[in-house]
Structure 1
Amino acid sequence: MILHIDFLDETDKLTDKDKEFISTVLEKAAVIENTGAAEVSVTFVTRERIQEINSEYRGKDKPTDVISFAMEEGDEELHIKGADLQRMLGDIIICHDVAKDQAEDYGHSIDRELGFLAVHGFLHLLGYDHMTDEEEKIMFSRQEEILSSLKLER
């Protein structure tokens, strides 16, 4: 396996099927993005908890769907001669309730929404962003490529 995923479910709503699905989505993203051996943490939280995190780290006192915290910053890489180290990419935090609401609003499945949020968070861990139109075009193109490869189109 190219990607090790640590799951934490603070909602008690995550099923084994959900974990398998998110694993499949993120493993495909890791292959397409050529991450090499890597590790990521995926945590599912309540609406209240994601609002606390969003307020504390982004200054936005409202619930959101996904937040990522990257472990790798900048362009420097650590190289140790003779070592084959696994990269720790960071944390993806998803609010299952917001994802469910958004799936209903957009008229697609919860799987499609969870897949989208997982890929979106994963790409942020790899340094993609959408602060400018050009960054958004690049990031959203990568998202759609990954989601399409999994047949998760809207």
Structure 2
Amino acid sequence: MAEDLNISTSVNKADQYTSLIPQIAALIEGETDLVANLANVAAALKEQFNWFWVGFYLVKNGELVLGPFQGPVACTRIAKGRGVCGAAWQQEQTLLVPDVEAFPGHIACSSLSQSEVVVPLFNNGEVVGVLDVDSEHLAHFDAVDVEYLEEIVKLIKF
């Protein structure tokens, strides 16, 4: 696959995801290094949607530890159940947060982040990390994002 994505931003969001998913699959196909694949997935999502922050946290020694990401510096470690990422890990489900200030225990890694979606990554039925996406706009994410981001994380092999 070429280094540049080939997706128009003039089409609707679902069509952008539909075009992006096979490109991500081709990008990570055959690559066995997890960090390389997470880095390319984060970069592809950031490039396509121009979100404020896109990245991964991986479960290590009982906490989420910052992994590959695109955007400003981020929180390095997050406890299980803490903030949106820790809650998604604990609940083992995707969390869609239209206003992070209204989320109990939200961790403000950046005061510019206004909305967030966090998708758990599973390996053999266990959460091994999360995909975290932040926007500087309120209510930026919706069910379309949840559907396709959940599909994208299933492409990642551990």
Q: TM-score of the superposition, structure 2-length normalised? A: 0.36
Which of the pair is proportionally richer in helix?
Answer: 1
Which of the pair is proportionally richer in strand?
Answer: 2
Q: TM-score of the superposition, structure 1-length normalised? A: 0.37
Larger Rg, first or second structure (1 or 2): 1
Structure of greater relative contact order (alpha carbons < 8 Å, 6+ residues apart): 1
